[in-house]
Structure 1
């Protein structure tokens, strides 16, 4: 019985007791399941059940009127497929003050260290934000991102689970991004996606009018704001 259990457990690592016992029965052994289970447990083969991560309580932070760039950034993931069915992900980063599309990371997998790499790339020319608003995705609640933010005195503002409206600005951006770009093209490779996104990013930041920005583009709105500040000073 021990040999049979070890044989099937080694060959089928992710099978629990029920499937292992059925494999033993199908192999021609007629041992009682209670007896097999006792031996199964004594060998330490019982699998640990997966537990859900307990998130700390998230406090609702209402969207406030912002005074300058780098006050609050938002980032969020999107996903889409290439023409032959392979899925890929996009990490969008925007500045909530002027809705500027700061950067995007595109690949089939985007773990926490890729999120940090994208942020560092933006911070090199933009400076560090005071706050980054995110949802509770595994990449955002990772220890790596938390340590990086603590190092640079950045507050991670987590929205409440199941409340995407609390990250409304980047959700609104994602909607435009999907309607105007992802839904309009069939991409054959990630390089094609990156090329089209680069073109769309430039147009969005420099030319596309935005109703929330007095029908100006993000860059023109920022220029107007800076000019008004100089005149008022």
Structure 2
């Protein structure tokens, strides 16, 4: 037996045109013949100009900038200024050079243009990758309080769109929340304030291990310097390994489940009060199965007897 010849796409398109003339809709005709509707539309021919190169996307480079007095400053003049500035400040990157051009020379220029010009002139400093501070976290057997603390940041969004940033510190042995900072930001300074307050309130001066994730607040030079001068051994968990920070992650899960989910937080002030009350309840009253069904503060009092 001879095999049936499968009609080509061009033949199917001709059939579609005949069906359309008879009153059948294009979509219906294409579905019957099992071809895409796009194949029935005329294709635009792309014209290629041999002499003219392909234009890049984006606006053309103007070749000048403005001063604060709205005077036009040609790029050749700016390049001369850049040579002089980079000779005077050879250790500055293009962002700081931009600030100098604005302050000293009164130029209205952005960092992207400065980057382009210094790269063109060969004055761009090599990129130096920021190395993470701290030590890599390892499995530890915790036998006493104030031996290992874990720190992390949680974001809570209020109904009015405001964000509430929680920087919390938990003691792994007692499960007590030993430090917290509730702010509208989540900076290194906020993290340092939380740690500093926790050290004072718990009278900790030595032999403390502080574990964190790889957030920019904790990998900064400023945070590591603070840990060194306060005799804190700061260690970082491996990337994508939140189980190394399980206790503070567990606290934030409880906070979400038992506090935030039960309250409609209207704004930052409302959220501050509710979260602060929950933290007091957590430390004083909330029982833990791992603490023989005692609250963190009750467990501390019993262990001190």
Equivalences for residues 58-137 of structure 1 within 5 A:
59-64=136-141, 66-128=142-204, 130-137=208-215
Residues 70 and 127, structure 1, Cα contact 8 Å, conserved in 2: no
Separation in structure 1 between the aligned mates of residue 117 and residue 276 of structure 2, nearest angstrom: 61
1:4 aligns with 2:80: no
Q: Give the Å deviation of 1:41.
A: 2.0
Aligned position for 2:70: none
Assess, with a 3 A threshold, how the Cα gap between structure 1 residues 6 and 205 changes in structure 2: closer, same or farther.
same
Which consecutive unaligned segments of at least 5 residues does structure 1 have? 18-36, 228-233
Residues 87 and 108, structure 1, Cα contact 8 Å, conserved in 2: yes
Equivalences for residues 1-233 of structure 1 within 5 A:
4-7=62-65, 13=110, 41-42=120-121, 53-55=130-132, 59-64=136-141, 66-128=142-204, 130-227=208-305
Q: Secondary structure at the match of 1:73?
A: strand
Q: Secondary structure at the match of 1:89?
A: strand
Tell me the TM-score normalised to structure 1 length. Answer: 0.75
Assess, with a 3 A threshold, how the Cα gap between structure 1 residues 179 and 14 changes in structure 2: closer, same or farther.
farther
Residues 160 and 267, structure 2, Cα contact 8 Å, conserved in 1: no
Q: Secondary structure at the match of 1:199?
A: helix
Residues 90 and 105, structure 1, Cα contact 8 Å, conserved in 2: yes
Q: Give the Å deviation of 1:77.
A: 0.4
String of CA shifts for 1:124-154, please: whole Å, max 9, x gaps.
Answer: 2202261111111111111222111111211
Assess, with a 3 A threshold, how the Cα gap between structure 1 residues 220 and 79 changes in structure 2: closer, same or farther.
same
Matched length: 204
Q: Give the Å deviation of 1:67.
A: 2.2
Q: Give the Å deviation of 1:95.
A: 0.9
Tell me the TM-score normalised to structure 2 length. Answer: 0.59
Q: Secondary structure at the match of 1:7?
A: strand
- Aligned-residue RMSD, C-alpha: 3.2
Q: Secondary structure at the match of 1:4?
A: coil
Which consecutive unaligned segments of at least 5 residues does structure 2 have? 1-60, 67-74, 76-106
Q: Give the Å deviation of 1:212.
A: 1.2
String of CA shifts for 1:165-219, please: whole Å, max 9, x gaps.
Answer: 1111111111111111122222222221121122111111111111111111111
Q: Secondary structure at the match of 2:262?
A: coil
Question: Which stretch of the first structure deviates more once superposed, 185-194 or 209-218?
Answer: 185-194
Rg comparison, structure with higher value: 2
Q: Secondary structure at the match of 1:131?
A: strand
Q: Give the Å deviation of 1:89.
A: 1.4
Higher relative contact order (CA 8 A, sep 6+): 1
Assess, with a 3 A threshold, how the Cα gap between structure 1 residues 132 and 49 changes in structure 2: closer, same or farther.
same
String of CA shifts for 1:48-96, please: whole Å, max 9, x gaps.
Answer: 89876443796341142x2222111111000021112222311011111
Residues 82 and 88, structure 1, Cα contact 8 Å, conserved in 2: yes
